[in-house]
Amino acid sequence: MSRLTLSQLSAFMKLAETSSFRDAANELGVSQPALSRTIQHIETRVGVRLFDRDTRTVTLTPAGERLRPLAARLLADYETLFRELHEFVEGRQGLIRIAALPAIASALLPPAIASFQARFPGVRIEIWEDVGDLVHNVVRDRSADFGIAPPPDLASDLRYQELLKDNIGLVCRRDDPLAEVAEHRWSVFSDCRFIAMSEETGLSAMVENGLGEAGVVVERLFNCSAATTAAALIASGQGISAITRLTMAEIASPRLVWRPLVDPVVARSIGIVRHQGRSLSPAAQAFVRELEQQARKIRMGEAVPGSDFDSEPDGDSDADFDSAGDGVGDSGGMD
C-alpha cells in the first residue's frame, strides 16, 4: 500500500467532515474536479473505496471509517510537531544547560531565571556548578550549552564574552571597627588575623596577587576550601578575610560586611563561555540576554540576591556592598 501525503489526508478528512464535494472543495480552496481526482488517487493508493457517493450524498465506507481516526491522529501529530518546532525557534520551548561557578550561579542565575521563566515557562533550565576549569571543560565537551566563569586560555577553542568584573574586598564582622571604613588598603591585613582560602581555589590566587602587589605579608590561618567556612569563622570572631563581591553575595550573612580593597584593586573577569563550533538555541540566546541585563544591574550596584550594594558603613542591609562597580585590575588563576 502506498503512503498518503499530508495534503491527501487533509482532503480526505475535509470530505469526511462535510459529506459534500462542493463544500469540501470550497473550504480547501480547490475545484470540485480537482478534489474528486485527489480522492480517486487516495483510493487507488490504499486499494479500496473510501467513500460511497451518489448524486446527493457522500458517506464513508467501512474502510473510510477505519482511516478517519488514523488520519486525524496523523494530522494532529503533524500540527503538534511543527507547533513545538515553532515554539523552539521562537525560544518558548527547549532545554538550557548551564555550567557556572557556585558564587556566580547564586548571584546571577536566580533573578535571571525568575525573570526569564515568567516569560518563557516552557523552557527547562539545568545548572551544573564547579570551579572555572571544569566549567570550561563541560562547555568544551558540549555537555553544557554555555558556562559562566572567568575567561579560558587564549589558545582555547572557547569563546568568551565578559559580563562583569568581580572585585575582591575585605570581609569582617558588622561590629568590627573596620566596618566603619568605606574602603581599605591591603595593608590592613598586616595587623589582623587573616583567614585564608586554600590554594586549590581561584580566590586564593587573587588574594596572593593583591598581597604581593601591595607588598603585604600576612600569617594565613585555616586555609578554607569553602567561602562559607571562612565566613563562619569570621562571624565567630576568628579573624577577617578577603573575598570577592559575588562570593560574599552567595554567603549573604547578616553578621558580615564587605568593604572594597584598593591599592591595588583586584578583580576577576566573569562572563559567558561558549564553544567556538556550537550555536546556541533560541532559548539559550534569550537567556544570555537576560544574564546581560542582570549583570548590568550588578555592575550598577542595583541588585545582588539577598543583599544590597550600600557602600556606606552602618547600612541597614543584611550584607553591605560597595556601589563602585567594576575593578580595574585583573588577577590570574581565577577559577
Nearest to 220 by CA among 247, 190, 248: 190
Q: Which residue has the cell 586554600?
A: 198
Would you state the cell numbers that stand for residue 70, as one nine-digit string?
488514523
Longest pairwise C-alpha distance within the chain: 106
With beta carbons less than 8 A apart as the criterion, state whether 135 and 99 touch.
yes
Identify the CA nearest to 245 among candidates 288, 307, 190, 155. 307
CB distance 273 to 249 below 8 Å: no
Q: pTM of the predicted model, to two decimals?
A: 0.67
CA distances from residue 201 to 124, 226, 235, 334 in whole angstroms, order as listed: 31, 8, 21, 8
Instruction: Please tell me what DSSP assigns to residue 157.
Output: S
pLDDT in tens, the chain (335 residues): 568 888 999 999 999 999 999 999 999 999 999 999 999 999 999 999 999 988 778 999 999 999 999 999 998 888 877 777 776 677 668 899 999 988 888 888 999 999 999 999 989 999 998 876 889 999 999 999 999 999 998 767 999 999 999 999 999 999 999 999 999 999 999 989 999 999 888 889 999 999 999 999 999 999 998 889 999 999 999 999 999 998 887 888 899 999 999 999 999 999 999 999 889 999 999 999 999 999 998 887 655 543 433 434 444 433 343 333 333 334 333 34
Residue 192 cell numbers, joined: 589582623
Residues of 9-39 as b/e, b for ≥16 C-beta within 10 angstroms? bbbbbbbbebebbeebbeebebeeeebeebb
Which residues 6+ apart lie within 8 Å of 314 measured at CB? 179, 180
pLDDT at 233: 97
Residue 267, Cβ neighbours under 10 Å: how many? 24
| Cβ-contact 256, 211 below 8 angstroms | no
89, three cell numbers: 525557534
Q: Tell me the C-alpha to C-alpha distance, in Å, between residue 108 and each of 102, 148, 205.
A: 10, 9, 23
CB-hemisphere CA count at 13 Å for 119? 11
pLDDT in tens, 207-217: 999 999 999 99
Q: How far apart are CA 24 and CA 2, in angstroms?
A: 24
Chain length of the chain: 335
Q: What pLDDT was estimated at residue 148?
A: 95
Burial class (CB in 10 A: 0-12, 13-18, 19+), 3: exposed
**Cα distance between residue 108 and residue 245, in whole Å:** 12
